């Protein structure tokens, strides 16, 4: 059955070829992301000391990515065990929920500034502990009970919250007059990046890994692309750090906003120029009518 499908579908590949390519990509991902993740954790610790920006959720996100990379090393060494699989899936779910926590914190900073429980140290530590416990317990039960559909449900739960945070933030931006413009730009950029990362990379990969637990997986080119993007999804978390802190990303966002403002200003200038030309034409018409009336009055007086 599998040979027949392989002969009539040029996109499919053999399992051995897929395994070799995936092992190579895992080695590349490990060699690139492992040192960068360790370096980023050190940079985040320095930011905590110098900046009041709450980055505890981002630190836990990097920790979950670091554990995933270590589990990939175990898989490359072909150590067969169900415990690394449970740990890896738990870390994947934890990274999804920590991204959701970052989105909620950014939304509350704009829309609900008085509700700062997510920004306080005690509240944020409690949320992180709850996320880890929930992910480990729920994933372990789903794997050992062979109810893998629960994993899709757990992965789909943050979807409405990501959409709500972005829409609510865009709606609350005009009312947040106390927040600087650069901070607003960074918050919107952070939410857009989290939304794209979730819907384009993480959610399709979790659904694909859950529904295709077969020896010939991945079987198509689309499946292979989704897995490769999922392997390098941690690189987007490094870009996320640039959006959360002050830095060169502010110049890029400022230029984009300046371009939109210049386009609006050019439209306003053209409107003002047309209004001024209309006023000038009206004034000239009034002066001409006034001059004609004065000449007619002088002629009447001379006749008299």
Read off the pLDDT of residues 211-239 as tens digits, 9 standing for 90 and up.
Answer: 765 444 556 777 778 888 888 888 888 88
Angstrom distances, CA of residue 90 to CA of 24, 80, 155, 177: 24, 18, 11, 40
Task: Using the predicted structure, report yes or no on whether residue 245 has a pLDDT greater than 50.
Answer: yes
Query: Could you tell me what percent of the chain has a pLDDT over 90?
Result: 22
- Mean local confidence (pLDDT), 77-97: 85
Using an 8 Å Cβ cutoff, are 163 and 154 in contact?
A: no
251 half-sphere exposure, CB direction, 13 A CA radius: 2
Final residue of a structural domain among 206, 222, 247: 247
**pLDDT for position 249:** 65
Using an 8 Å Cβ cutoff, are 161 and 100 in contact?
A: yes
Domain that holds residue 55: 2-247
Q: How far apart are the first and last CA of the chain?
A: 117
> The tokens 């994933």 sit on which residue?
139
Same domain, 287 and 225: no
Distance CA 109, CA 118 (A): 9
- Mean local confidence (pLDDT), 194-200: 92
Comparing C-alpha atoms, which of 95, 116, 93, 96 is closest to residue 106?
A: 116
CATH of the domain at 130: 1.20.1070.10
Same domain, 198 and 282: no
Token code pair at residue 41:
């954790």
Count Cβ atoms below 10 Å from residue 257 Cβ, excluding itself: 14
Same domain, 11 and 83: yes
Task: Using the predicted structure, report yes or no on whether residue 258 has a pLDDT greater than 60.
Answer: no
Comparing C-alpha atoms, which of 214, 225, 205 is closest to residue 21?
A: 225
Q: What is the pLDDT of residues 45-73, one digit of tens each?
A: 776 555 545 688 999 999 999 999 988 88
Comparing C-alpha atoms, which of 56, 210, 190 is closest to residue 146?
A: 210
Name the pTM for this structure.
0.75
Same domain, 172 and 126: yes
- Mean local confidence (pLDDT), 8-29: 66
Question: How many domains would you assign to the chain?
Answer: 2
Q: What is the pLDDT of residues 99-156, one digit of tens each?
A: 999 999 899 888 887 777 777 778 888 999 999 999 999 999 988 888 888 888 999 9
Same domain, 236 and 265: no
Task: Using the predicted structure, report yes or no on whether residue 270 has a pLDDT greater than 50.
Answer: no
Task: Using the predicted structure, report yes or no on whether residue 19 has a pLDDT greater than 50.
Answer: yes
């Amino acid at each position: 059955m599998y040979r027949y499908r392989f002969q009539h579908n040029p996109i499919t590949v053999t399992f051995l070829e897929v395994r070799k390519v995936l092992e190579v990509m895992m080695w590349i991902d490990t060699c690139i992301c492992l040192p960068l993740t360790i370096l980023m954790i050190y940079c985040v610790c320095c930011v905590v000391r110098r900046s009041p920006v709450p980055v505890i959720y981002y630190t836990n996100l990097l920790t979950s990515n670091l554990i995933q990379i270590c589990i990939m090393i175990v898989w490359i060494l072909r150590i067969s065990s169900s415990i690394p699989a449970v740990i890896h899936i738990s870390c994947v779910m934890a990274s999804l929920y920590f991204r959701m926590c970052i989105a909620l914190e950014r939304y509350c900073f704009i829309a609900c500034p008085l509700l700062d429980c997510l920004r306080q140290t005690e509240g944020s530590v409690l949320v992180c502990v709850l996320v880890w416990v929930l992910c480990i317990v729920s994933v372990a039960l789903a794997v050992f009970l062979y109810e893998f559909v629960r994993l899709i449900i757990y992965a789909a739960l943050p979807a409405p919250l990501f959409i709500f945070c972005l829409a609510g933030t865009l709606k609350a931006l005009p009312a947040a007059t106390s927040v600087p413009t650069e901070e607003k730009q960074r918050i919107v950029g952070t939410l857009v990046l989290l939304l794209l990362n979730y819907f384009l990379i993480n959610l399709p990969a979790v659904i694909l890994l859950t529904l295709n637990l077969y020896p010939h997986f991945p079987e198509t080119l689309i499946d292979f692309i989704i897995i490769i993007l999922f392997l390098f999804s941690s690189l987007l978390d490094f870009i996320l750090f640039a959006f959360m802190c002050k830095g060169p990303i502010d110049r890029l966002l400022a230029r984009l906003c300046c371009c939109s403002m210049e386009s609006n200003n050019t439209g306003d200038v053209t409107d003002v120029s047309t209004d001024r030309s209309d006023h000038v034409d009206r004034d000239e018409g009034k002066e001409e009518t006034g001059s004609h009336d004065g000449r007619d009055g002088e002629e009447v007086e001379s006749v008299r």
